[in-house]
Amino acid sequence: MRPAPLPVRDGLGPARVRLHGGPVLAELTARFGEQARAKVLAGEVVDADGVVIDAATVLPTGASVYLYRDLPDEVPVPFDIPVLYRDDDIVVVDKPHFLATMPRGSHVAQTALVRLRNELDLPELSPAHRLDRLTAGVLLFTARREVRGAYQMLFARGLVHKTYVAAAALNPALELPRVVRSRIIKRRGHLQAVVEPGEPNAETLVELVSPDGLYRLTPRTGRTHQLRVHMASLGLPIIGDPLYPNVIEMPADDFSTPLRLLAQRIEFDDPIAGSRRTFVSRREEGVWS
């Protein structure tokens, strides 16, 4: 995809809107209301070539326009984002709990991507993979557009070895270690992922590493909420999980009960440098705040 014609502003790139075709002002007003109309009339909307859209602009079906979105009101996440490693190509951080990886829904400015772009002055920063908002730990970003695809492909192809630790209850009758395999489906608009009959698409090695309920989880696939679903399926939901096995409504400003899940370690062969890379969270096992 060609670069957006508007630069990153305040850590956030412009929104891209694909058009149905016809007068742009009328379409944007019908779809997004008076705020979008005001942006067009103020000259704040451009086409793919960076040409300013005005009240008379007509564009064909499939054309795109770009504009900066209005940020929602967000509760600040009161945790820093420690940098574990940084060079010209990548930035590796120790993401805190409660901070989404990148903008989605009501979480925009309070995301690791936007905050790090601002803090590190890296407008091309982009995540090579994602962690759930409630999961803490090692998260890798690319610093330059030119290397983005190489690192993202590592994760997409399953070439990154990941290790997590989690806290959960104990069940002496449960034989561990064991490999959990299931078919996990996450549907748009649904908070929970579900296990369905069919060919397994998710696999996790579960090991008990201490008698106080600390587990090592080694995912061999990367389905949404995979570790949380697999632990709940064993009757050992991760402590602090507001989704599994049951949905619990949590106030947006309540940071007192983090999910006891930490992305502790990632290892991979660097596609640019060629060397073996290992990055480890500095958070102590069992310390979740």
151-172 tens-digit pLDDT: 999 999 999 999 999 999 999 9
Within a domain: residue 4?
A: no
What is the predicted pLDDT for the residue at 263?
Answer: 98
Helix axes 24-32, 34-41, angle to 10 degrees: 150
End-to-end, the C-alpha distance of the chain in Å comes to 39
Cα–Cα dist 282/289, whole Å: 12
138 and 260 assigned to the same domain? yes
- Same domain assignment for residues 244 and 103: yes
Region 238-251: mean pLDDT is 94
Q: Is the domain of 128 the same as that of 227?
A: yes
Quote the CA–CA distance of 152 and 64 in Å, as a whole number: 25
Number of domains in the chain: 2
**Domain presence at residue 205:** yes
The reported pLDDT for the residue numbered 285 is 59
pLDDT of residue 71: 86
pLDDT of residue 286: 52
Residue 31 lies in a domain: yes
In a domain, 25, yes or no: yes
182 with 61, same domain: the answer is no
* CATH number of 136's domain: 3.30.2350.10
Which one of 41, 67, 93 terminates a domain? 67
Active site residues: 132
pLDDT of residue 287: 57
255 shares a domain with 160? yes
Cα separation of 282 and 280, whole Å? Answer: 6
What is the per-residue pLDDT across 54-64, written as a single tens digit (0 to 9) for each? Answer: 999 999 999 99
One domain, residues 139 and 232: yes
Q: Is residue 111 domain-shared with residue 190, that is, in the same domain?
A: yes
Cα–Cα dist 212/286, whole Å: 10
The verdict on residue 201 lying in a domain is: yes
Same domain, 109 and 23: no
Confirm whether 5 is domain-assigned. Answer: no
**From residue 107, how far is each of 103, 175, 193, 287 by CA, in Å?**
6, 40, 20, 25
Domain match, 59 and 131 both: no
pLDDT digits (tens, 9 = 90+) for 182-208: 999 999 989 999 999 999 999 999 999
Residue 111: give the domain boundaries: 83-280
Backbone angles phi, psi at 9, to 5 degrees: -130, 125
Q: Does 111 share its domain with 244?
A: yes
> Above 90 in pLDDT, residue 21?
yes
Question: Are 121 and 223 in the same domain?
Answer: yes
Q: Is residue 3 part of a domain?
A: no
